[in-house]
Structure 1
Amino acid sequence: MSSAPDPFSKRPIAADAAPVLERFRASGGRPFHTYPVEQVRDLYEQGCAANGLRADQLAKISDITVDNFRVRIYDPQAVSGPTPVVLFFHGGGWVMGSLSTHDGLCRRLAALTGLPVVAVDYRLAPEHPYPAAIEDSRGALHWLFTSGDDHGLDVTQAVLVGDSAGGQLAAVLAIENASAADPLPIAAQVLIYPMVDLTMSTPSYARVTEGFPLVADTIAWFADHYLPAGTDRTTPDVSPALGALPAGLPPAYVITVDNDPLVDEGACFAAAMARAGTEVLYRHLPGYAHGLFTSAGRIPQGEKAINDIAGFIKHRATT
């Protein structure tokens, strides 16, 4: 897809992404961190509803409460026998996002892969700061493999998928599981523009500072709401890109976009996993901004990239 320099941000903008960006700027162009928490959550819900994928029809969808969080199970075929499962963690900086914001994406992944997708509605900051989100995510992974009577699935293996903050949660779980004495069968991980270095020290933070819904100051705002004062931002379950990586990590598909403060840390993390011996498929999409996948109903490249992710999952979860 062709791109051209943007006179506002001086960044290249892909032609199919330009209309969504123009609507954002026409509405005032204020990035997320300039709003109060409750308002930014509402705006994110509205934006995902307006720009996300249509709601694909599936055989069965059910919501279940697990301890302190909820999950939604998207079952495309009403599976009754052994099956791999996609465990999905939504983005939103640990502050916003919900089952609703990523509903279209999860439905599409279920429809394309033919596999159940279990989306995790973990607790959000600042009401529930770190480590609530990662504790809920760990709990969801354990529940998936141990509570078949609750969810009705005979889970053979899991694929961990997450975007942005959800990508961080998926990456942390993959690392922790690979380091465990008795690891669970994790077939693969898909990390969509993951937020994996909360020291915020990579060069792309200086490149993406205005003109987009998510800029460098937005990441800082998210981190300040999620992390209690004094939290060590280099700890492995905060910044998985900074720690030593174990052998035996599941194959990874890492996607970054150009107009994103997180692009360099995502690329560095993909390279670090490769150096640790992990099979890594890395894809960079120039001219696109953070939020591409929750805008895939309006931006064709987002929908195409979801198709590619589904192909990766099908290959890794069935071989």
Structure 2
Amino acid sequence: MRDINLPLPVARVVLRPIYRVTLNERMPWRLQRLLLDIGSRAQPLPAGTRVHKLRLGGRPAERITAGSESQRGAADAAGGAVLYLHGGGYAVGSLATHRSLAARLAHETGCTVYVLDYRLAPEHPFPAGLDDAEMAFLELVESVGYRPDRIALAGDSAGGGLSLATAQRLIAQHGHTPAALGLIAPWTDPNRIPERDRDLVISKPWSRACAAAYLGGGDSTDPGYAPLTGELHGLPPTYVQVDKSELLHTQCVDFVADLRAAGAHVRFTETQGLWHVAQLQAALVAPAAAALTELAEFLREAIQPVSKRDLG
């Protein structure tokens, strides 16, 4: 199936009622998950995508690659991979909902993309998801054989916050610094209450329900739960994307400012006219596809930097 390019106003009209019905704090989590999985069928995979199911860090996962077997082997031999952590407020989202986005990253980075089905709240509150992400990264290093500095962590919304928390834990506890962080509208502090009631995708009541479900009986001051409050020194190159219309826009702006103050190399893109994690609809909306391509280029350059020898 070829990409199409819906005009942004049309896409917004189509998506608004879908998200308002699906991401609703009054709806059971299991039903939200089911509806999102069903809706993901409208997000096609690029031609030539290969999806291999496996277990990673003790959890179900998918290994997504692009191109022929020989091309795939060359990419693996180069030692580059992306570990992608999906969004969904730590309570919804799945391998299915983010398979199309991850597949596009695999095609555009030329690297293998691993998508992790980490445990979700409220059944498995913090730090279950963080523990799963940590173990997945360590397995890629210790069992699969990737170098830590050739594995990028990427994620959207809650998955972006989880990527940051995972990087902080890997650096502090294992001495592993990932190649890069690729963060789409990262939710880095669930304690912060949005300034507005909603954007096109998420609402304040739904986000507060997610934050409470994820915290469970934990400590809200734990930097693993709110990584914006954690150690930002020593993080790898980081790319943050967010749309100006999002509830998380202000939080992302503050996060980028804190990263720069900590001396991190940061790239920051603010789009206008998209919506929260519009990159999920990259096959349907050209500006979302362009944003995802920029993220893929950043990750590719961080994972497989061009050497002087390569340049001749």
Q: Report the count of equivalent residues.
A: 292
Equivalent position amino acid for 1:65 in 2: R
Q: Equivalent residue of 1:39, what SS?
A: helix
In structure 2, what is the equivalent of residue 102 of structure 1? 98
Return the offset for 1:270: 1.2
* 8 Å Cα contact 2:134-2:170 kept in structure 1: no
What is the Cα-based RMSD across aligned positions, in Å? 2.1
The alpha carbon displacement at 1:297 in A equals 2.2
Does the alignment pair 1:281 with 2:267?
yes
For residues 62 and 91 of structure 1, the distance between their equivalents in structure 2, rounded to whole angstroms, comes to 21
Q: Determine whether 1:186 maps to 2:175.
A: no
The answer to whether 1:222 aligns with 2:213 is no
Shift of 1:174: 1.7
Q: 1:17 to 1:233 in 2, by over 3 A?
A: farther
In structure 2, what is the Cα distance between the partners aligned to 1:154 and 1:251? 19
Shift of 1:267: 1.4
State the alpha-carbon separation in 2 of the partners of residues 25 and 59 from structure 1.
Answer: 29
Q: Deviations over 1:268-314 (max 9, x none)?
A: 11111111110000111122221311122222211111111111112
- Call closer, same or farther: CA 1:49–1:33 in 2, change over 3 Å: farther
User: Going by fraction, where is strand more abundant, 1 or 2?
Assistant: 1
Is the 8 Å Cα contact of residues 60 and 78 (structure 1) preserved in structure 2?
no
1:290 aligns with 2:276: yes
Distance 1:49 1:59 in 2: 15
Match of 2:152 in 1: 159
Quick check: 1:241–1:265 contact (8 Å CA) kept in 2?
no
State whether residues 122 and 213 of structure 2, in contact with CA within 8 Å, keep that contact through their aligned partners in structure 1: yes
> Which of 20, 40, 47 lines up with 2:11 in the alignment?
20
Residue 226 (structure 2) aligns with: 239
Aligned counterpart, 1:206: 195
Name the residue aligned to 1:34. Answer: 26
Note closer, same or farther for the CA distance 1:118–1:27 as it changes in structure 2 (3 Å cut).
Answer: closer
- One-letter amino acid matched to 1:206: E
Residue correspondence of structure 1 range 51-90 to structure 2 within 5 A: 52=43, 54-58=44-48, 60-66=50-56, 68-76=58-66, 77-79=71-73, 81-90=77-86
Higher helix share goes to which structure? 2
Question: Would the aligned equivalents of 2:198 and 2:247 in 1 still touch at CA under 8 Å?
Answer: no
Distance 2:239 2:17 in 1: 34
Check conservation: 2:49, 2:103, Cα contact below 8 A.
Answer: no
> Structure 1 residues 43 and 259, CA, compared in 2 at 3 Å: closer, same or farther?
farther
Check the 8 A contact 2:134/2:169 in 1, yes or no.
Answer: no
Q: Which ranges of structure 2 fall in alignment gaps of 5 or more residues?
A: 1-5, 306-312
Select which of 172, 176, 187 maps to 2:165: 172
Counterparts of 2:97 and 2:18 in 1: how far apart (Å)? Answer: 20
Q: Name the SS of the counterpart of 1:93 in structure 2.
A: coil
Does the 8 Å contact 2:85/2:154 carry over to 1? yes
Q: How far apart in 2 are the matches of 1:84 and 1:24?
A: 35
Amino acid at match of 2:204: A
| Maintained 8 Å contact 1:187/1:251 | yes
Query: Given that residues 237 and 264 in structure 2 are in contact (C-alpha distance below 8 angstroms), is that contact kept between their aligned partners in structure 1?
Result: yes
What 5-or-longer segments of structure 1 have no aligned partner?
Answer: 1-14
In the superposition, the TM-score normalised over structure 2's length comes to 0.86
Question: Is the Cα contact below 8 Å between 1:16 and 1:301 reproduced in 2?
Answer: no
| 1:29, distance to aligned residue in structure 2 (A) | 4.0
In structure 2, the CA distance between the partners of 1:123 and 1:176, relative to structure 1 (3 Å rule), is same
**CA 256–112 in structure 1, closer or farther in 2 if over 3 Å, else same:** same
Q: Which amino acid aligns with 1:45?
A: D
CA contact (8 A) 1:60 1:74 kept: yes
Asked if 1 retains the 8 angstrom alpha-carbon contact of 2:63 and 2:113, the reply is yes
SS at match of 2:274: strand
**What is the deviation of 1:28?**
9.1
Shift of 1:67: 5.2
SS at 1:119's partner residue? strand
Q: CA deviation at 1:141?
A: 0.6
- 1:315 has 2:301 as partner: yes
Pick aligned residue for 2:108 from 91, 108, 112: 112
